[in-house]
A and B are shown apart, each in its own frame.
Chain A
Amino acid sequence: MKKFLAAFIAILAICAGLAYGSNQLTKSTGDTGNKVLNLYNWGDYIDPALLTKFQKETGYHVNVETFDSNEAMYTKIKQGGTSYDITVPSDYMVQKMKADHMLIPLDKSKLKGMNNYGSSFMNKSFDPGNKYSIPYFWGTLGIIYNDQSVKPGSLTHWNQLWSKKYRNDIMLIDSSRDILGFSLISMGHSVNTTNSTELVAAKNKLNRLSPNVKAVVADEIKMYMAEGEAPVAVDWSGEASEMMSQNSHLHYVVPTEGSNMWFDDLAIPKTAKHFKAIYAFLNFMNKPENAAQNAEYIGYSTPNMAAYKLLPKNVRDDKQFYPDQQVLDRLQVYSNLSPQKVQEYNDLYLEFKMHH
């Protein structure tokens, strides 16, 4: 009993020490308690140096909390109990949150530098007139291949993925909309189709892809491709740029039939409280030099054209991540689907995954 008591007291003492230490650390990062901004972001999705700079310029300390999927973020904000000021939903999620009255409209009179954004990235179907969202990063869905096994320039169509050449060679990103999406595009349908016949046809076509599919994985696909585990993958451009920085044999291509174009956007959730800080932050991120610095840190494509001009030439000229207008014209943005359609997409997708 004595021993237990001693251990108990020792652990409590350690805990007190830890609490003190973490308190001191939080203080030393400049968290004063009143001038704050609560940012709810994907993990490691903003240059930390920018947060320091923001605090120096405006005095607002940014508390960062992180999420790992749009849906998890949605659940968290919908349930309340938190006080996030800014969140970073993707395109279809902006539309969903808007429909569920979970976003606060932007006060355009308080925003500066909105004309920095390229017209191709504004006024999209998920948020007409950008009433609720400012694009943060954008990208495409495409094919990554390793030039050690695939001849550069030879893979340019979605349909080529079904070729016997790529038996057990392809890795897919684990996302129902994207996988059914490219199958739909390859058949000339819209990625937002609600026509069940088209969807079933797209799934049946995917089932025929099964012998070529090596695995269906998520974020770890970067590591697999960089390791050379598979020669071909279907993934987003952001992930592609990440893996290409690790393995110079990898290349990214957006198939000529078109593809999906995705956005991550800054938006104000209904839980927001610190509006002065919010607009200071949005204006700060609109500034070309800050957006450019962030784009260089993250490695994704920026929609801020003034920032784009500040990027190094080799980045600007990279057609893989900043494609020509004619490619941009063929890209489709996801719109939010009704819950039963989302379920239908996912059920079909699950059947495809279980097919092999």
Chain B
Amino acid sequence: MENKASKTGKIYITIVFLLLYIPIVYLILYSFSKGTTMTNFQGFSLKHYGELFADKRMLAIFLNTILIALLSSVCSTIIGTMGALAVHNAKRRHERETLLSLNSILLVSPDVIIGASFLIFFTALKLPLGFWSVLLSHIAFEIPIVLLLVLPRLDEMSPSMTNAAMDLGASPSQILSKIILPYIQPGIIAGFFMAITYSLDDFAVTFFVTGNGFTTLSVEIYSRARQGISLEINALAGIMFIFSLILVGVYYVIETHNTGNGDKKNIVEVTDR
């Protein structure tokens, strides 16, 4: 859109950003505390980072968590996008409504129910619990969110675009890769990132379907609550946060470098209409 953000708008988002980041800054700050809890700050110290790097088990758990998050998000983004195409192409209205309702069931069911039923499901199939069962479950509960983020963009895409391409003799796969995918790209990226969020945040489902020594960070954090969560976890969260901040920065530099300036797809859009 051409009109630039107004001054009040900028002040508004600055405030919201501050509020969003205060709790994060707070918990990272405490990872530098000499004390043992997030209550009274007791002077600067790096000891929690020392503990963290000496804790091989925790580091392995951390790597496993990221591995599951990335892998499951890639898979669920692919399947979820296909699902969005399926829903989008549903001919009858009730077909679409049924698909959408089924899709959202995993979003509404409380985690405990999903976890328990997946556990029953996996043990009935005699699938060993561990990495694969966790990966499958994560893919399963991330698909609906991807679909919900991709679908609105598909629905907003004007059919004239695909029709025109078809008239010009484009094959379905060309239509998909040259027209549809570039258009819904922002939805796909959003879906991927949200899938990561769901994966990193999940405790209940992972707890039920894991086994054979495989653990993720969430399960470890929640089960530590009874003994009190040590600031080592804060240190880990801090590192993870800074690391993803750097990643986002790098991604962005590459992105702007590649596409030059401005958004390509807007040009497509304008010429279309």
Contacts and interface: CB of A to CB of B under 8 A. Distances in A.
A44 B74 CA distance: 32
A203 interface: no
Contacts of A14: 70
Contacts of B39: 223, 226-227, 246-247
B60 A68 contact: no
B210 A65 contact: yes
A226 to B, nearest CB: 5
A68 B225 CA distance: 8
A109 interface: no
Given A1-B181, A219-B226, A246-B39, A65 B215 contact: yes
Nearest to A39: B213
Interface residues of B, number: 50
B60 A44 contact: no
A44 B231 CA distance: 13
A26 B208 contact: no
Interface in A193-251: 218-220, 222-223, 226-227, 239, 242, 245-247
Given A4-B181, A15-B67, A66 B36 contact: no
Contacts of B35: 246
A82 B129 contact: yes
B228 A222 contact: yes
Nearest to A271: B211
Contacts of B66: 18
Contacts of A18: 63-64, 66-67, 70
Contacts of B71: 11, 15
Contacts of A11: 70-71, 74
Nearest to B203: A68
Interface in A11-51: 11-12, 14-15, 18-19, 21-22, 25-26, 28-29, 31, 38, 42-45, 48
B58 to A, nearest CB: 9
B205 to A, nearest CB: 12
A66 B224 contact: yes
B16 to A, nearest CB: 26
Contacts of A28: 56
Interface in A65-103: 65-68, 72, 75-76, 79-83
Interface stretch (B20-28, B115-123, B238-246): B115-123
Contact of A25 (B63, B119, B182, B225): B63
B101 interface: no
Contact of A44 (B188, B213, B215, B224): B224
Contacts of B63: 18, 21-22, 25
A328 interface: no
A327 to B, nearest CB: 24
B161 interface: no
Nearest to B57: A29
A223 B67 contact: no
A246 B37 contact: yes
B212 A82 contact: yes
B12 to A, nearest CB: 32
Q: What 8 A-B pairs have minimum CB-CB distances, sorted nearest first?
A: A43-B223, A43-B224, A66-B223, A219-B225, A22-B63, A25-B60, A1-B177, A63-B213
26 contacts: A4-B188, A8-B74, A14-B70, A15-B67, A19-B67, A25-B60, A26-B60, A43-B221, A43-B222, A43-B223, A43-B224, A43-B227, A44-B228, A44-B230, A66-B220, A68-B225, A75-B116, A75-B208, A76-B207, A81-B123, A81-B211, A82-B211, A222-B228, A239-B226, A242-B227, A246-B35
Interface of A: 1, 3-4, 8, 11-12, 14-15, 18-19, 21-22, 25-26, 28-29, 31, 38, 42-45, 48, 63-68, 72, 75-76, 79-83, 218-220, 222-223, 226-227, 239, 242, 245-247, 298
